[in-house]
Every structure is written in structure tokens, then in C-alpha cells.
Amino acid sequence: MADVRTPAVANPDTASTAELIRKALDDVQELAKAEVALASKELGAEATSTFVTAIAMSVSIAIGVCAVATGVAALIVGLGGTTVAALASAAAILAIATAIGIVTSIARSPKGFLPRTRQRVAEDISEMKDHFA
């Protein structure tokens, strides 16, 4: 597809106001595209890092909870309890830990996608509209 940009203004002293404004808007648009591309790349890298960290932390917590449940079960059996009681207590510990994890995850999950960035972009657009109006 052909590039449909306005040609660059050769001499700002002889250019009309409309040409200067068009050139300024083209420059702003080009800068905005570059910023969005950089932000997108940065966001992708941060998302990947966050995902890997979350998986590693989740696995570590799960292993820790299983170790505690197994330890409690071993303690119950060691103190003369039945195997059924030991397994039931281990299952209860795992169920409680799972419920806490689910509730915490739901409560802390983001309610919208990039709310601060959306707010800043909306303010920037509003400011540009006011400036050029």
C-alpha cells in the first residue's frame, strides 16, 4: 500500500498554517505509533516474566502445602491415629489451602486491562484536542 503521508514542509517560513499543523499532527502520530510499539514490546516482556514467576511461585506453594499436609498426616499416624484420620486431615489442609488460594486470586485479579495507561492516553488525547481546537 502506498504511503499517503503529507509531504514534509520544505520551508516553515513560507508554509501555510494548515501545512504546519498537518506536519505537526503527522509527527505526533508517528511518535504515538513508536511509543505504542515500544510499550507493546515492554508489556510482552513483562507479561512473560510475570507469568513465569507466577507459575514458579504457584508450584512452590503447592509443594509446600503438600509437605505440610503430609507432615500432619505422618504426625497423626505416629501418635497412634488411624490412616483414615491422617488422610482426612491431609485432605482438609489441602482443601483449605486451595480455597484460600482461589479466593485470593479472584480478589486480586485485574478488573480491567491497563487502566492507568488507558487513563493517561485518554488525558493526552483530550489535551491534544483542546490544544488544537
Can you give the three-state secondary structure of 26-64, one letter per residue?
Answer: HHHHHHHHHHHHHHHHHHHHHHHHHHHHHHHHHHHHHHH
How many whole angstroms separate alpha carbon 129 and alpha carbon 46? 32
- SS3 category, 87: helix
- Which phi-psi region, left, alpha or beta, contains residue 19 (left: φ > 0; alpha: ψ -120 to 50)? alpha
pLDDT in tens, 47-76: 888 888 888 888 888 999 999 999 999 999
- Grade residue 31 by pLDDT with cuts at 50, 70 and 90: confident
pLDDT at 78: 92
Look at the pTM and tell me if it is higher than 0.85.
no
